[in-house]
Structure 1
Amino acid sequence: MSKRLRSSEVCADCSGPDPSWASVNRGTFICDECCSVHRSLGRHISQVRHLKHTPWPPTLLQMVETLYNNGANSIWEHSLLDPASLISGRRKANPQDKVHPNKAEFIRAKYQMLAFVHRLPCRDDDSVTAKDLSKQLHSSVRTGNLETCLRLLSLGAQANFFHPEKGNTPLHVASKAGQILQAELLAVYGADPGTQDASGKTPVDYARQGGHHELAERLVEIQYELTDRLAFYLCGRKPDHKNGQHFIIPQMADSSLDLSELAKAAKKKLQSLSNHLFEELAMDVYDEVDRRETDAVWLATQNHSTLVTETTVVPFLPVNPEYSSTRNQGRQKLARFNAHEFATLVIDILSDAKRRQQGSPLSSSKDNVELILKTISNQHSGESQDNDQPDYDSVASDEDTDLDATASKAHRQKSLDSDLSDGPVTVQEFMEVKNALVASEAKIQQLMKVNNNLSDELRIMQKKLQTLQSENSNLRKQATTNIYQVQTDSEYTDTSNHSSLKRRPSARGSRPMSMYETGSGQKPYLPMGEVNHPEESRTRLQPFPAHASRLEKQNSTPESDYDNTPNDRDLDDLGYMCRKNALGLGSSTRDRAAWSGGTLHHLHPLLCFQTHNVLRY
């Protein structure tokens, strides 16, 4: 298709510009966002291929382009083109709509539910309707009108319908008429090129008889499409059917790993399958190959931001409601095979397909019996480990891949690892990938241990910090209490010792003291050189009796510690006594009573004058 025509193309589902994907069986071109929804529906709904990064048979691409240019999209949107659809509120998705749920719901209704397809009048017997549609298809394939045949197929016509009167199928008719595009469309919808008509001829025979050699060669390729696709997936080559080579069996670089008893037993089980079961298994593996290849192309063509924000990766084959639950479970488990395991399975299928095609006999029955017995013994030994596991896995619904973004993101790396076998797989490559994976897992475990150790150390440091904070708080409280606490049990220090004066804990040590201090007991005067008496020996003064002297009563008057100024009478008495001692006069009985206890023996005259002067002046 020319670039001018390609630039005018729009997405068939949202009308977005420059679609890069094609839905082969729907005959439409779609954009990246709509393609992600198509892939989640499954190949039984839409078979998607990239227009540039996927190898195309020329006639197959020409068929899709012809359908798109002839308005095949109107078949799937028939009711939307009716003006009455505007009244009902139905509308087509826009490029600005979100993928989920807007575009996803529209695409499901369009292709899965066929909600907008033109419906024929209802009849009592649907089989009669399908038979009539198949007969119309049988007559239409002789012409080049592709959209008519696609419309009949969308309504339920059978591509492999065997006409009871004419004794052939629509593909026989198209091959005889040389309609290669019709043959491509019929093959997409399941027509078998190997089907024989009433006379025993195949469509290939009719194409060769009619001189349509290109059509005949293409029909041979379609007949071996499954095995060709599997071989191309492993080694990147296809058989040369023109020279009679129809199978390529890739070999592992080191086949010693495939000689185990389990591998032999699995191969024998594969060979013992009936043709019908083997065909189903081969079809499921073909769908898994298509999923892996399409997933690889998808990841290579999308930017990283889109992959993170949208659910675009299909981690396993979607559920096909036409298949049984057991088969759907087996199809989904194919995604769990790594590159080496899946390559081994593909090689076994190719080998057995070649054997069945050529009619080669199986190996001796003795080997089969031995392998079966070994398999049974291995199963019995492993029953104890498998009893806790369920017999079947739960089958995921079609909406799981759209709703569970976390699961899709977790399987994205697994899909990348599984898609590394586009070329020939060697044991060395497999071991390199395995060693790298083991090293990565070991590194992750090491980092997790380091993280746990750091977390433990952090918790220990936090506990220590809390302990230190509490101890600091307690010490601050104790220091504050000690500052304001009055110490009653402290000792007097030596007046001649300056260091002991500095350590005196009394609060009065911070201010000057007079000889005589009111509100307390009399302080003992010690001459220089004498040792001070401890404070414990000092007894508190008791209340004076009624005959106590006036001076004693004045000394016992309770006053504030902050008021140490004596009254005038105290100063006069004190001065009088000092003068008498200075003149050498004896003290009277009244004076001796004032200094009771004998604490002022040999009062120094100079000290009396100095003290008297300080107190008076």
Structure 2
Amino acid sequence: MSKRVRSREVCADCSAPEPRWASVNRGVLICDECCSIHRGLGRHSSQVRHLTHSPWPPSQLQMVQTLYGNGANSIWEHSLLDPSSSVSGKRKANPQDRVHPNKTEFIKAKYQMLAYVHRMPCREDDSVTAKDLSKQLHSSVRTGNLETCLRLLSLGAQANFFHPEKGNTPLHIAAKAGQMLQAELLAVYGADPGALDSSGKTPIDYARQAGHQELAERLVEIQYELTDRLTFYLCGRRPDHRNGQHFIIPQMADSSLDLSEFAKAAKKKLQSLSNHQFEELAMDVYDEVDRRETDAVWLATQNHSTLVTDTTVVPFLPVNPEYSSTRNQGRQKLARFSAHEFATLVIDILTDAKRRQWGNSCDSPKENVELILQGIDSRHNSESQDNDQPDYDSVASDEDPVQEATCGDSCNDGRTKLNSLQTENTSLRWQTPSGQQHLQGPFGRHPPRGGRAMSMYETGSTPRQYPHRAETARHEDGVILQPFPTNGCSLEGRSTMLENDCDTTPNHSELEETGSPLPSSDGVEPEEGEEDATLPCTEDVICKTEQITKNIQELLRAAQETKHESFLPCSEKICMAVTEMAALFPKRPSSETVRGSLCLLTSSASRLHGECQKAADHNPCPSDIQLVTQQVIQCAYDIAKAAKQLVTVTTKENNN
């Protein structure tokens, strides 16, 4: 890039001259100060790379420069371009603004909440809208108009959309048309180079058949991006895919750790994971590699400037709201690994990735992914905590260390956490052998060379749609970069955080209001004051948790669509499911954790019912219904949190 062109570039967020960083998935260039904020958002929101100090595939850098030059930033600042926005007080940051809170609040609103993105008109069926957008994307990728495709992706088009009439995905079309930059953009949004069309051909096959050899080779690199990145991190080189070398497994100079019983046990757990669980662990390690490498570039390019402070350090992976809290906690523990320990884990993942790719997979998961991390990290825990303390730390970045969450952040956090409950229940079910998920992972259980490579690229895996292969269709809780749809439901303003006023004794009167009192698990009532250590079957608790989650999601959809008349029926279903779950446990559990969780569960259900009753009893003004909706969301989140705690403690106790 010439100096003359660079001199005209300005930061997409604050207009500071000569930005030195890029946000790959947003297609914008940013300055050092704004980059310090982007890094804290997490890769699911913004994937940052230094323009000159980070390694770039040439076509990917060209893709970002093309998007930036063609005004991609207007996609993320659409409503700010409206002259009326200045009247309403909305404005973008400027170079003179303070990093905290001014630039931070603006950047979070812009990229996390997508507050300024053009909103589609309300539709009765969101799935129809997403399908229409995805079909438009399918048609657009045959052209070179990158910004149109980015706009469609920002609105909810799916990069892995399988066109029912055409029988292929957008990446197939881009590959056939030789659109290298479109392929790069789709890959950043999770498009799978190994996706099969209705005839069993991949985008790589399409590119080769159309004579686009360079594109075909790049798609192979994208297909192996995860393992290539891990290899490069350890030894500074990548496999030679052109000559059929797809894996390099570095060796440790000091193999003493590998010989320990601890390391052998960790490897055994790693090999026992299902393909889907293994993929998630590998994705988390990939994110940690990216964090460590970006930290190194950050420190090397700041020259001890004022930006290198505690407020700009990213000490561990930021919370991804699409993931369960347990998974987020496990991800954060990766930052505590020493260089030697982390290298050992990376090598073990590369080794097992190669084994699974060649078809020698093991499908008898006995441990949760996060338990692997806990086990590897056990030497830290044994030094710093007693046996009666929680297995996991609290998720540190649930609370902003720099400032209180903005009003919008608080509401958005509630919505996104509730939106991930379905995924969380899937994750919880893995904790028991009877809940084993037979998911088609990236290392397929097919002939040795027939498995798909781990094709997670920049944003991680996203939902893949292969209707023609329904028997292998899989659910993945990958990152969806589009906003949580509001459909006109305005939830701005601070959520009133309801304090948990429970003690550790279950509130039986509240239980009786929503249903029958709690019997003991064996049907025998314990004597007054007698504590019972019996816990129900984990599968039963998980089943009831899924019932609760399903009903909460129904309530959330009603909140999205401003159907306040549906609040009360939904709350009644939730209360009934909560009562059924609470009835699984003894009347006076001996576990303090169980007592506290049951109290939070039932009291939150009672509060939820009361708030929903307010919406049904009278016709409140918009500001009142907004407050009621916020309270409803908070109560629902508390219920989900309590249910999760009960599943966790039941699983732990039953496995002991």
Instruction: Say whether the fold is shared (TM-score over 0.5).
Output: yes
In the alignment, is residue 231 of structure 1 matched against residue 231 of structure 2?
yes
Q: 1:207 to 1:105 in 2, by over 3 A?
A: same
Name which one, 1 or 2, has greater alpha-carbon Rg: 1
Query: How big is the shift at 1:303?
Result: 2.9
1 CA distance for matches of 2:86 and 2:54?
Answer: 38
Query: Is the CA contact (8 Å cut-off) linking 1:22 and 1:48 kept in structure 2?
Result: yes
- Indicate the residue corresponding to 2:178 in structure 1: 178
- Indicate the residue corresponding to 2:53 in structure 1: 53
TM-score, normalised relative to structure 1: 0.61
In the alignment, is residue 125 of structure 1 matched against residue 116 of structure 2?
no
1 CA distance for matches of 2:145 and 2:77?
Answer: 19
Query: Is the CA contact (8 Å cut-off) linking 1:123 and 1:129 kept in structure 2?
Result: yes
Amino acid at match of 1:11: C
2 CA distance for matches of 1:387 and 1:35?
Answer: 40
- Indicate the residue corresponding to 2:155 in structure 1: 155
SS in structure 1 opposite 2:306?
A: helix
Higher relative contact order at CA 8 Å, sep ≥6: structure 1 or structure 2? 2
More deviation, 30-39/250-259: 250-259
Query: How big is the shift at 1:390?
Result: 1.3
Query: Is the CA contact (8 Å cut-off) linking 2:273 and 2:363 kept in structure 1?
Result: no
- Indicate the residue corresponding to 2:280 in structure 1: 280
Query: Is the CA contact (8 Å cut-off) linking 2:275 and 2:361 kept in structure 1?
Result: no
User: CA deviation digits over 1:175-216, x for unaligned, max 9?
Assistant: 011100000000000001011111000000000000000000
SS in structure 2 opposite 1:92?
A: coil
1 CA distance for matches of 2:308 and 2:334?
Answer: 25
What stretches of structure 1 of length at least 5 have no aligned partner? 366-371, 405-617
- Indicate the residue corresponding to 2:249 in structure 1: 249
- Indicate the residue corresponding to 1:263 in structure 2: 263
Query: Is the CA contact (8 Å cut-off) linking 2:274 and 2:362 kept in structure 1?
Result: no
1 CA distance for matches of 2:384 and 2:89?
Answer: 59
Query: How big is the shift at 1:400?
Result: 2.6
- Indicate the residue corresponding to 1:500 in structure 2: none
User: CA deviation digits over 1:250-302, x for unaligned, max 9?
Assistant: 00113233111111110011001000000000000000000000001001111
Query: How big is the shift at 1:402?
Result: 3.3
User: CA deviation digits over 1:365-386, x for unaligned, max 9?
Assistant: 9xxxxxx9xx9xx99xx89984
Q: 1:72 to 1:110 in 2, by over 3 A?
A: same
1 CA distance for matches of 2:39 and 2:384?
Answer: 40
RMSD across aligned positions (CA): 2.4
Q: 1:10 to 1:310 in 2, by over 3 A?
A: farther
1:132-151 aligned at under 5 Å gives the runs 132-151=132-151
In the alignment, is residue 167 of structure 1 matched against residue 167 of structure 2?
yes
Amino acid at match of 1:317: L
Query: How big is the shift at 1:305?
Result: 4.0
- Indicate the residue corresponding to 2:25 in structure 1: 25
Amino acid at match of 1:117: V
Query: How big is the shift at 1:3?
Result: 1.6
Q: 1:96 to 1:353 in 2, by over 3 A?
A: same
User: CA deviation digits over 1:27-59, x for unaligned, max 9?
Assistant: 000000000110100000000000010011000
1 CA distance for matches of 2:56 and 2:63?
Answer: 11
Query: Is the CA contact (8 Å cut-off) linking 1:40 and 1:401 kept in structure 2?
Result: no
SS in structure 1 opposite 2:291?
A: helix
Amino acid at match of 1:154: S
Amino acid at match of 2:213: H
Query: Is the CA contact (8 Å cut-off) linking 1:193 and 1:204 kept in structure 2?
Result: yes
2 CA distance for matches of 1:170 and 1:79?
Answer: 28
In the alignment, is residue 312 of structure 1 matched against residue 321 of structure 2?
no
2 CA distance for matches of 1:96 and 1:181?
Answer: 35
2 CA distance for matches of 1:282 and 1:401?
Answer: 28
In the alignment, is residue 208 of structure 1 matched against residue 184 of structure 2?
no
Amino acid at match of 1:321: P
SS in structure 2 opposite 1:49?
A: strand
Q: 1:361 to 1:109 in 2, by over 3 A?
A: closer
SS in structure 2 opposite 1:133?
A: helix
2 CA distance for matches of 1:384 and 1:227?
Answer: 33
Q: 1:114 to 1:364 in 2, by over 3 A?
A: closer
Q: 1:387 to 1:4 in 2, by over 3 A?
A: same
User: CA deviation digits over 1:464-507, x for unaligned, max 9?
Assistant: xxxxxxxxxxxxxxxxxxxxxxxxxxxxxxxxxxxxxxxxxxxx
Count of paired positions: 392
- Indicate the residue corresponding to 2:611 in structure 1: none
- Indicate the residue corresponding to 2:98 in structure 1: 98
Amino acid at match of 1:21: W
SS in structure 2 opposite 1:35?
A: helix
Percent sequence identity is 85
1:361-440 aligned at under 5 Å gives the runs 386-397=386-397, 400-403=400-403
SS in structure 1 opposite 2:396?
A: coil
User: CA deviation digits over 1:429-462, x for unaligned, max 9?
Assistant: xxxxxxxxxxxxxxxxxxxxxxxxxxxxxxxxxx
- Indicate the residue corresponding to 1:240 in structure 2: 240
- Indicate the residue corresponding to 1:73 in structure 2: 73
TM-score, normalised relative to structure 2: 0.58
Q: 1:305 to 1:185 in 2, by over 3 A?
A: closer
Query: Is the CA contact (8 Å cut-off) linking 1:314 and 1:401 kept in structure 2?
Result: no
User: CA deviation digits over 1:322-371, x for unaligned, max 9?
Assistant: 10111101111110101000000000000000000011366999xxxxxx
- Indicate the residue corresponding to 1:335 in structure 2: 335
1 CA distance for matches of 2:106 and 2:96?
Answer: 14
Amino acid at match of 2:290: D
Amino acid at match of 1:302: Q
Query: How big is the shift at 1:307?
Result: 4.0
2 CA distance for matches of 1:9 and 1:383?
Answer: 51
SS in structure 1 opposite 2:402?
A: helix
Query: Is the CA contact (8 Å cut-off) linking 1:79 and 1:118 kept in structure 2?
Result: yes
Query: Is the CA contact (8 Å cut-off) linking 1:20 and 1:29 kept in structure 2?
Result: yes
- Indicate the residue corresponding to 1:111 in structure 2: 111
1 CA distance for matches of 2:170 and 2:29?
Answer: 26
1 CA distance for matches of 2:144 and 2:213?
Answer: 18
Amino acid at match of 1:341: E
